[in-house]
């Protein structure tokens, strides 16, 4: 059913063309062409150090291309004012510990920044967006807690709530479930799927969890050593050969619920995987 949705998916809303970028002259991403289509839920996978986060930062406009282009709705992103871009594109970066004791409510309210002028107060629609973001991420009861006192998983959900309050049609997420237990992982991916299906938001999500990516996403893009290694439906990308090549480990790939691939890692040690 989801593949039928994928086939009627719209034009590219965010696109990298011939993208090269990196840090201090060291190239991390090499000649990448990738497009997020309107209404798509795309996962970006690949081993540590393959350039996923760098590609995400480039797609978010944070990192300027050394060469090539980032197009947002078909126009070069760097020619647009930052505030306007932030109304279209929200990012959930990898979390780091906050230095100041803002409350959860205050941090989520900062998601409204791109919609407000410097001296403008919150309007009813701003407050509604904040309430909705808190409700969707089940963080209402944390509202008055300082973010410095939260667990990693709680803070992760607050960061997602802040991005939701931005009410942008595009969202880029870097490991949104990295600090969460399996229950909260499913919660977050169910939420993302709902945002994708019910509201038509286009999502790009960096993930180390291949099973979650396979379960929830329309399309997977794999990176290796800064280049695009594969792109396609989960079952096309997640073959035993490709995974062992990408991650240098043995896995078994079976068909799980919903016809999605299910990956089980195999130990290199004798006896562990014996029947």
Partner 1 sequence: MWVALVAPLIGSVMMSLSFGAASLAPSDVGLALLSRLPGLASLDPGLSGGEQTIVFDLRLPRLALALLVGASLSVAGVVMQAFFQNPMAAPSIIGISAGASLGATVAVVSGAGAGIGFAGLGAVPVAAFAGALLVTALVYVLSRRGGRTPVGVLLLTGIAMGSLMSALAALVLVMGQDPSRRDLDQVVYWMLGSVAGRTWTHVLVVLPYIGIAGVLTWIFGRDLNVLTLGDDTAWYLGLNVEQVRLILLALSSLLTAGAVAVSGVIGFVGLVVPHLMRIIAGPDHRALLPASALAGGTLLVLADVVARTIAAPTEIPVGIITSLIGAPFFLYLLHRRREYAM
Cα 214 to Cα 160, 242, 253, distances in angstroms: 21, 14, 11
Chain positions 55 to 94 lying near partner 1, rule: CB under 8 A, are 57, 60-62, 82-87, 89-91, 93
Kindly state whether residue 197 participates in binding partner 1, applying the rule CB under 8 A.
no
Kindly state whether residue 102 participates in binding partner 1, applying the rule CB under 8 A.
yes
Q: Least distance (Å) from partner 1 to the CB of residue 58?
A: 12
Nearer to partner 1, 157 or 215 (CB): 157
DSSP H or E run through 2: helix 2-7
Nearer to partner 1, 92 or 230 (CB): 92
If we measure between CA atoms, which residue out of 99, 218, 190 comes closest to residue 107? Answer: 99
Candidates 54, 166, 185, 202: give the one binding partner 1 (CB under 8 A): 166
Chain positions 124 to 163 lying near partner 1, rule: CB under 8 A, are 163
Helix ranges restricted to H, 45-181: 52-59, 82-88, 104-109, 124-136, 152-165
Sole window of 3-11, 113-121, 125-133, 217-225 interacting with partner 1 (rule: CB under 8 A): 113-121
| Residues 125, 78 contacting (CB under 8 angstroms) | no
Nearer to partner 1, 101 or 236 (CB): 101
Q: Least distance (Å) from partner 1 to the CB of residue 145?
A: 13
Go through the chain and tell me how many residues it has.
275
Nearer to partner 1, 160 or 243 (CB): 160
Candidates 111, 226, 234, 261: give the one binding partner 1 (CB under 8 A): 111
Kindly state whether residue 54 participates in binding partner 1, applying the rule CB under 8 A.
no
| Residues 59, 76 contacting (CB under 8 angstroms) | no
| Residues 36, 212 contacting (CB under 8 angstroms) | no
| Residues 222, 46 contacting (CB under 8 angstroms) | yes
Nearer to partner 1, 84 or 194 (CB): 84
- The C-alpha atoms of residue 44 and residue 38 are separated, in whole angstroms, by 16
Candidates 7, 8, 99, 274: give the one binding partner 1 (CB under 8 A): 99
Sole window of 37-45, 105-113, 199-207, 229-237 interacting with partner 1 (rule: CB under 8 A): 105-113
- The C-alpha atoms of residue 36 and residue 43 are separated, in whole angstroms, by 10
- Edge-first strand order for the sheet with 75-76 is 26-37, 12-23, 67-72, 75-76
Nearer to partner 1, 144 or 241 (CB): 144
Three-state SS annotation for 74-99: CEEHHHCCHHHHHHHEEEECCCCCCC
Sole window of 66-74, 99-107, 128-136, 206-214 interacting with partner 1 (rule: CB under 8 A): 99-107
Binding site for partner 1 (CB under 8 A): 57, 60-62, 82-87, 89-91, 93, 96-102, 106-107, 110-111, 113-114, 116, 118-119, 163, 166
């Amino acid at each position: 059913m989801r593949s039928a949705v994928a086939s009627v998916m719209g034009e590219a809303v965010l696109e990298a063309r011939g993208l090269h970028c990196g840090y201090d002259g060291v190239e991390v991403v090499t000649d990448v062409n990738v497009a997020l289509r309107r209404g798509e839920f795309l996962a970006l996978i690949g081993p540590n150090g393959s350039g996923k986060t760098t590609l995400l930062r480039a797609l978010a406009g944070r990192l300027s291309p050394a060469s090539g282009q980032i197009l947002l709705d078909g126009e070069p992103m760097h020619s647009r004012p930052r505030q306007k871009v932030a109304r279209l594109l929200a990012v959930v970066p990898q979390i780091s510990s906050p230095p100041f004791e803002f409350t959860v409510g205050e941090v989520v309210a900062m998601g409204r920044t791109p919609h407000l002028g410097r001296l403008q107060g919150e309007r009813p629609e701003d407050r509604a967006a904040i309430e909705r973001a808190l409700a969707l991420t089940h963080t209402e009861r944390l509202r008055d807690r300082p973010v410095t006192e939260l667990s990693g998983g709680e803070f992760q959900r607050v960061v997602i709530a802040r991005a939701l309050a931005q009410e942008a049609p595009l969202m880029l997420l870097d490991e949104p479930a990295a600090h969460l237990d399996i229950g909260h992982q499913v919660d977050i991916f169910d939420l993302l799927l709902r945002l994708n299906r019910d509201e038509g938001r286009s999502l790009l999500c960096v993930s180390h969890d291949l099973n979650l990516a396979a379960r929830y996403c329309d399309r997977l893009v794999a990176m290796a050593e800064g280049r695009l290694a594969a792109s396609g439906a989960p079952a096309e990308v997640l073959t035993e050969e490709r995974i062992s090549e990408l991650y240098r480990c043995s896995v078994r790939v079976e068909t799980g619920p919903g016809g999605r691939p299910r990956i089980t890692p195999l130990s290199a040690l004798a006896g562990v995987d014996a029947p």
